[in-house]
Amino acid sequence: MTSLRFKIIVGLLAIFSLIAAVTLTISGDEIGDALLESKENTVEMIFELIDLNVSQVYHQQLAERVATIQERKETLKDLASLGESMLERYLKAEQTGLLSSDSAIKMAISWLQQARFGRESYWFAFDREGVVLSHPNQDQIGRSITSLTDLSGRPIVQIMCDDNLCRESEFSVFNWDDGSQDRSKDKKLGYFKKFRSWGWTLVAVVDISDIEAIVSQRMTETIGTLKESLRQINLPGNGRIALLEGNGNVLISPLLENENPADFRPADLLKKIKSHLATSATPLELQLAMAGNPQESVQAYASYFKPFDWYVTVLIPQQALTQPVKELLLRQGGMVGGIFLVGLLITLSFAQRLSQPLLRLSHFVQRIPHDNLAGQEIDVTPLQAISDSRKDEVGQLATSFNEMVVELQQSVRQLVETTALRERLEGELNIARKIQLGILPKEFPPYPNRKEFDLFATLRPAREVGGDLYDFFFIDDRHLCFTLGDVSDKGMPAAMFMVFTRTLIKTLAPQLPTPGAIMARVNDLLCAENPNTMFVTLIIGILDTETGLVEYANAGHNPPLHLTPQPEGKFLPRTSGPVAGGFPHLRYQNLTLQLQPGESMALYTDGVTEATNAGEKMFGNERLAEVMVQNAQKPPESQVEATLDAVNAFVAKAPQYDDIAMLVLCYHGHRAQEGPPA
Q: Using one digit for the tens of pLDDT, what is the confidence trace for 452-495?
A: 999 999 998 876 566 789 999 999 999 999 999 999 877 778 88
Per-residue confidence band for 677, with pLDDT thresholds at 50, 70 and 90: very low
Higher pLDDT, 413 or 139: 139
Buried/exposed code over 219-230 (b: 16+ C-beta within 10 A; e: otherwise):
beebbeebeeeb
Contact call for residues 445 and 638 (beta carbons, < 8 A): no
Q: Average pLDDT, whole number, for the chain?
A: 80
Mean pLDDT of 492-520: 92
Per-residue pLDDT tens over the stretch 49-63: 666 766 776 777 778
**What pLDDT is recorded for position 160?**
66
**What pLDDT is recorded for position 503?**
93
Per-residue pLDDT tens over the stretch 548-602: 999 999 999 999 999 999 889 999 988 999 999 989 999 999 999 999 999 999 9
What burial class does residue 332 get, using C-beta atoms within 10 Å of its C-beta: 0-12 exposed, 13-18 middle, 19+ buried? middle
Provide CB contacts within 8 A for 549, sequence distance 6+. 543, 592, 593, 594, 595
Provide the CATH number for the domain formed by 1-355 in this structure.
3.30.450.20
Distance of CA 163 to the CA centre of its chain: 67
Number of H helices, E strands in the chain: 13, 20
Higher pLDDT, 450 or 163: 450
Helix boundaries (H) for 371-478: 381-389, 393-439
Higher pLDDT, 168 or 327: 327
Q: How far is CA 585 from CA 294, 296, 323, 540, in A?
A: 112, 107, 102, 18
Nearest to 300 by CA among 677, 545, 46: 46
Contact call for residues 404 and 387 (beta carbons, < 8 A): no
Mean pLDDT of 614-634: 95
**What pLDDT is recorded for position 673?**
44
Q: How far is CA 666 from CA 442, 541, 567, in A?
A: 17, 13, 13
Percent of the chain with pLDDT over 90: 28
Per-residue confidence band for 304, with pLDDT thresholds at 50, 70 and 90: confident
Q: How far apart are CA 631 and CA 113, in angstroms?
A: 121
Mean pLDDT of 32-60: 69
**What pLDDT is recorded for position 501?**
93
Cα torsion angle, 600, 606, 610, 612, sign: negative
Provide CB contacts within 8 A for 624, sequence distance 6+. 561, 604, 608, 609, 643
Mean pLDDT of 397-411: 70
**What pLDDT is recorded for position 261?**
65
Q: How far apart are CA 529 and CA 495, in angstroms?
A: 15
Q: How far apart are CA 494 and CA 355, in angstroms?
A: 60
**What pLDDT is recorded for position 423?**
64
**Single-letter amino acid, residue 221:** E
Q: How far apart are CA 182 and CA 176, in angstroms?
A: 12
Instruction: Tally Cβ neighbours within 10 Å of residue 617.
Output: 13
Domain ranges of the chain: 1-355, 371-439, 441-667
Higher pLDDT, 504 or 286: 504
Phi, psi at residue 252, to the nearest 5°?
-130, 120
Helix (H, G, I), strand (E, B) or coil at 173: strand
Helix boundaries (H) for 96-122: 101-114
Nearest to 120 by CA among 178, 170, 201: 178
What 8-state DSSP symbol labels residue 605?
Answer: -
Per-residue pLDDT tens over the stretch 91-148: 898 889 888 988 988 898 888 888 776 657 888 888 888 899 888 888 888 888 888 8
Q: Residue 242: beta bridge partners? A: 313
Q: Write down the pTM of the prediction.
A: 0.44
Nearest to 494 by CA among 618, 658, 662: 658
Distance of CA 594 to the CA centre of its chain: 64
Comparing 434-443, 549-558, 609-618, which segment has the lowest mean pLDDT? 434-443
Distance of CA 181 to the CA centre of its chain: 71
CATH superfamily of the domain spanning 441-667: PPM-type phosphatase domain (3.60.40.10)
Higher pLDDT, 354 or 99: 99
Mean pLDDT of 435-452: 84
Most confident of the ranges 240-254, 458-472, 516-530: 516-530
Residue 68 pLDDT more than 90?
Answer: no
Contact call for residues 151 and 159 (beta carbons, < 8 A): no
